[in-house]
Structure 1
Amino acid sequence: MDMPIRSYQKKLIDDLRLSLKHGHKNVLIQSPAGSGKSITMAELAKRITSNGERVLFVVHRRELVKQIKNTFSSWGVNMNLCEIYMVQTASRRLEKLMTPNYILVDEAHHSLAKTYKKIFNHFKNAHILGFTATPVRLSGKGFKDIYDDLVLGPKISWLIENHYLAPYTYYSVNLIDQTKLKKSSTGDYTHKSIENAGKNIVYGDVIQSYHKFANNTKAIIYSYSVHSCQQIAKEFNKNNIPAKEVDGKTKKEDRDKAMQDFRDGKIKILVNAELYGEGVDVPDCETVIMLRPTQSLSLFIQQSMRCMRYQPDKQAIIIDQVANYTRFGLPDMDRVWTLEDRAKHPQREGGSDGIAIKTCPNCFGVIMASYHKCPLCGYSFEAEFRKLAEDKRAELEKINLDAKEMRERKKKEQELLLRDPSTFTTFKEFAIYGKATGKKPGWAWHRAKAKGLIR
């Protein structure tokens, strides 16, 4: 049965075919989370099998196998010529698989792992076509060992403007001690340091944020441990907000029921630790609450955008309780994708050293730093701008401080040192932080200027 695909999905396939025509054997295809990669892959598999060629499709999560099989079957893929396996299963059954002409790889940013390479090396003559929203790894290692070319899909901002993704509002009320976060050898934060950073979280604060920013919406909460997820779900239920916790050890039938109850509206809150991330389709999820700090751009994009599946009149809500936006910027900012090796933390291109953003002190919305008035609540930053020259002059004039003033300044310095500079909203905060950390002269002025605090 012929079914239409979207114009940008057709363009992706056309660009892929052109790349193969130009002699590239293995191609990586980037397209944003929520842009319908499953349908794009189904259309591609349909065209391949219609030509009598064989497809091996590998996914990295067990839950996705059935979902992909249903999508492919309903789309008209010849399933006699298409095998779909979890990557671990495929790597153990290589001798029993049909020899594919094409290997399609879902969430292909994982495809440098040994299990994937084992499959690729076994079927050396097959074309490898990888699909991902985020062609980037924490290690900074590029993808040229596997892929010859990169095909880019539409930008997230374009998808929002053209009603393929839902617009969103982003709020941030930090609940953790960022200074306690420590990185592991993988580049992301250690579980122990995340536990330490979050041990003083009052789960009532999470509920308060939900009531304030997203009351009565369906929300998926990403936390950092099974125990924290269980406690959060318990707290929501105590407050008469139906919630369920699911994790990797939850029985499959119980996980399926929890997801169905969520879709049916029997529960409002689904709490998990990274279980409902890549590839999970929950179009009626309206809100995401992040309680898991990360250095992984892939994880941030997958989790933050889980609520942005399009529905008419839907306004997605992202509540960032761990200040992830200070590391990555906002989900729809433009990013540079490449097959080449990169710095270990390319996400900094969109974090505090890149696009200028700030948090409104009145509504906690995350907005562009250039705004003089918050577009969410109407709060005016003009008073701060007017005080800026006075604050700067006062700092220059006030040299001799008494003992009380010295104690107050020291206390202010200690408070600021616990914060990320991207959260500062006045020149004075930058000036105190810069002096306390030994920054070069002019650092505070340039950072305040970048945030739109100086005109």
Structure 2
Amino acid sequence: MQLRDYQKKLINGLRNSMANGHKNIMVQSPAGSGKSITMAEIAKRITQHEMNVLFVVHRRELVKQIKSTFVKWGVNMNFCEIYMVQTATRKLEKLIKPEYIFVDEAHHSLAKTYKRIFDYFPVAHVIGFTATPIRLSGKGFREVYDDLIIGPKISWLIKNHYLAPYTYYSVNLIDQKQLKRSSTGDYTRQSMENAGKNIIYGDVINAYKKLANNSKAIVYSYSVQSCKQVAEEFNKNHISAQEVDGKTDKDTRKKAMHDFRTGKIKVLVNAELYGEGVDVPDCQTVIMLRPTQSLSLFIQQSMRCMRYKPSKKSIIIDQVANYTRFGLPDFDRDWTLEDRSKHPQREGGSDGPAIKTCPECFGVILASCHECPLCGHSFEAEFRKLAQDRRAELEKINLNAKELRERKKKEQELLLRDPSTFTTFKELAIYGKATGKKPGWAWHMAKAKGLVK
């Protein structure tokens, strides 16, 4: 197996960064782009010079997976140790003294467990790898890393057959108004329970049958109980499914993944257990039942079905309208080590084009489409209505001074509020105009909330 050109470019970028005096470096490359191979090649070169590598991961499933990749790639394992971060933290005195510390899913690097390892080995270089260098808090990574190496764009990887193309569908099954943020920035467990309490799990099965029937699917839900209900509903419909969660014992989790990979289980249902790093190339479908404000979580979960296989067409079924917050997985993102404003990814979080949901097939498509490319549904009547609305808006140009003051006051009030709390199209329109949103943003948001037809 040969390195791909973009993997070579990442490695050369890392070498140049170190040559320029950077000690701790973060490497960004999209989910499914082969970060494990890139890491293996770097580790192979280091261990060939009999220098030690300590590799820390955040889930037990990844230890064996990474170790297998490293052995196959020719890493000298006499100079390399791979541990879960919690295990490494407990046995710092017994670890090899590393010249290099590798961190998988490095967007977790600011956690106390990781920093304890870094502080214990202050001379070691820290090399972090992640698809999503971003945190919900908005805090940057300068505390740990000196430089950031940016990998290829997702759209480029799809175009060049390194990731599978996808079709994105969205049918909102939850009450978005019930969602409330916690101090961490993501939605609280209780609010997700409240938002999803009226979910008809048969609708989840119907969407799977209609859009992705008989394909291998991973379902991400918001709680253990909801996962169990989904798995039960699949099995009732004679579609083999299994629920696994953080409390599921190691052997059962291992068997569930084996059965999924071999096809004995068609649907694997979990609550965030298989979001990061898990390699399941033949998973074709992802079903999202977990609303989130985390761009990182959205990308990691939605792209879990996009590992490349010839002729594979991935299917993403978003049943909680996450796309209205982030756009689509392959929209371009601006990655940085610097601090961001809190919750920078809300309400789109990308520079991608405006999008909408087809009311006929539920496909998420470009807002400019007059006809759905998936099912042929015509939007001509809708476009005519929008044109009429715009003409009506243009006629309202003779506002007097009092009306202008009132509108300005309304804008200021709305700017202090979270757009998810808006209950009318007018509020969304005023907010969108005041914040420089793209044309059509308010309509698409209102559509997702059910405020317009």
Same fold (TM over 0.5): yes
SS at match of 1:125: coil
> Given that residues 172 and 364 in structure 1 are in contact (C-alpha distance below 8 angstroms), is that contact kept between their aligned partners in structure 2?
yes
Could you say which residue in structure 2 is the equivalent of 1:284? 282
CA distance, structure 2, for counterparts of residue 131 and residue 388 of structure 1: 45
Q: 2:424 aligns with which of 433, 438, 441?
A: 433
AA matched with 2:430: K
Question: What SS does the aligned partner of 1:58 have?
Answer: strand
Q: Which residue pairs with 2:410 in the alignment?
A: none
Structure-2 change in CA distance of 1:446 and 1:389 (3 Å): farther
1:75-114 residue pairs with structure 2 within 5 A?
75-114=73-112
Conservation of the 8 A alpha-carbon contact between 1:144 and 1:340: yes
| 8 Å Cα contact 1:214/1:317 also seen in 2 | yes
Say which of 349, 358, 377 aligns to 2:356.
358
Quote the offset at 1:264 in angstroms. 1.3
Work out which of the residue numbers 32, 36, 39 in structure 2 matches 1:38: 36
| Paired position in structure 2 for 1:254 | 252
- Other-structure match for 2:322: 324
CA–CA separation in structure 1 for the residues paired with 2:265 and 2:167: 23
- Say if 1:437 and 1:83 are closer, same or farther in 2 by CA, change over 3 A: closer
1:71-106 deviations in Å (ceiling 9; x for gaps)? 111111110101111111111111111111110100
The AA in structure 1 aligned to 2:426 is K
CA distance in 2, matches of 1:158, 1:226: 36
Whether contact under 8 Å (1:214, 1:287) holds in the other structure is yes
Q: 1:363 to 1:86 in 2, by over 3 A?
A: same
8 Å contact kept, 2:43–2:75: yes
Match of 2:27 in 1: 29
Distance 1:328 1:387, change over 3 A: closer
Deviation at 1:392, TM superposition (A): 5.6
Residues 432 and 441 in structure 2, CA contact (< 8 A), matched pair in contact too: no
Letter of the 1:187 partner, please give it.
G
In the superposition, relative to structure 1, how do residues 444 and 262 fare at CA in structure 2: closer, same or farther (>3 Å)? same
Aligned to 1:55: 53
Superposed displacement of residue 421, structure 1: 8.7
Is residue 180 of structure 2 the alignment partner of residue 182 of structure 1? yes
Query: Secondary structure of 2:210's partner?
Result: helix
Conservation of the 8 A alpha-carbon contact between 1:295 and 1:345: yes
Q: How many Å separate the matches in 2 of 1:87 and 1:8?
A: 28
For the aligned residue pairs, the C-alpha RMSD in angstroms reads 2.6
Distance 1:375 1:10, change over 3 A: same
Which residue identity is paired with 1:435?
Answer: K
**What's the counterpart of residue 402 of structure 2?**
none
- TM-superposed CA distance for 1:171, in Å, is 0.2
- Which of these residues, 149, 152, 177, is aligned with residue 150 of structure 2? 152
Contact 1:327 1:352 (8 Å CA) reproduced: no
Q: Is the Cα contact below 8 Å between 1:357 and 1:366 reproduced in 2? A: yes
**Residue 172 of structure 2 contacts residue 320 of structure 2 at CA under 8 Å; is this kept in 1?**
yes
Write the deviation string for residues 346-395 of structure 1: whole angstroms up to 9, x where unpaired.
21373499641111111111111122221111212122222334456679
* Aligned residue among 12, 15, 25 for 2:13: 15
Once the 2 structures are TM-superposed, how far is the Cα of residue 436 of structure 1 from its aligned partner?
Answer: 5.8
Q: Is 1:246–1:271's contact at 8 Å kept on the other side of the alignment?
A: yes
SS in structure 1 opposite 2:345?
A: helix
Aligned to 1:439, the other structure's residue is in SS state helix
Residue pair 2:429, 2:442 contacting (<8 A) in 1 also: no
3-state SS of 2:195 partner: helix
Distance 1:446 1:304, change over 3 A: closer
1:313 is aligned to 311
Of residues 223, 236, 239 in structure 2, which corresponds to 1:238?
A: 236
Shift of 1:193: 0.2
The residue aligned with 1:172 is 170
Distance 1:239 1:442 in 2: 47
Would the alpha carbon gap of residues 443 and 338 (structure 1) be closer, same or farther in structure 2, given more than 3 Å must change? Answer: closer
CA offsets 1:380-431 (integer angstroms, 9 cap, x no match): 212222233445667999xxxxxxxxxxxxxxxxxxxxxx999xxxxxxx9x
Q: Any idea what SS the aligned residue of 1:28 has?
A: strand
Work out whether residues 326 and 345 of structure 2, in 8 Å CA contact, stay in contact via their aligned partners in 1: yes
Per the TM alignment, residue 265 of structure 1 is displaced from its structure 2 partner at its CA by: 1.2
SS of equivalent to 1:157: helix
C-alpha change, 1:442 and 1:223, in structure 2 (3 Å) is closer
AA aligned to 2:346 is R
TM-score (norm 1): 0.87
In 2 relative to 1, CA 140–391 (structure 1 residues): closer, same or farther, beyond 3 Å?
closer
Residues 21/227 of structure 1: CA separation in 2 closer, same or farther (3 Å cut):
same
Q: In percent, how many aligned pairs have the same letter?
A: 75
CA contact (8 A) 1:220 1:285 kept: yes
CA distance in 1, matches of 2:68, 2:394: 68
Report the residue type matching 1:211 in the other structure: K
The 1:61/1:450 distance shift into structure 2, 3 A limit, reads closer
State the TM-score, normalizing by the size of structure 2: 0.88
Q: What letter is aligned with 2:141?
A: F
* Residues 354, 440 of structure 2: 8 Å contact kept: no
Distance (whole Å) between structure 1 residues aligned to residue 124 and residue 438 of structure 2: 51
* Structure 2 gap ranges (5+): 396-417, 445-453
| Mapped contact 1:434–1:443 kept (Cα < 8 A) | no
1:24-69: per-residue Cα shift (whole Å, max 9, x none)?
0110000000001111101100000001111010111111111111
CA contact (8 A) 1:358 1:451 kept: no
Q: Is contact 1:164-1:310 (8 Å) kept?
A: yes
Distance in 2 (CA, whole Å) between partners of 1:335 and 1:174 is 25
Residues 1:68 and 2:59 are matched in the alignment = no
CA distance in structure 2 between the aligned counterparts of 1:241 and 1:86, rounded to whole angstroms: 34
Instruction: Sort the Cα spacing of 1:37 and 1:349 in 2 relative to 1 into closer, same or farther, 3 A.
Output: farther
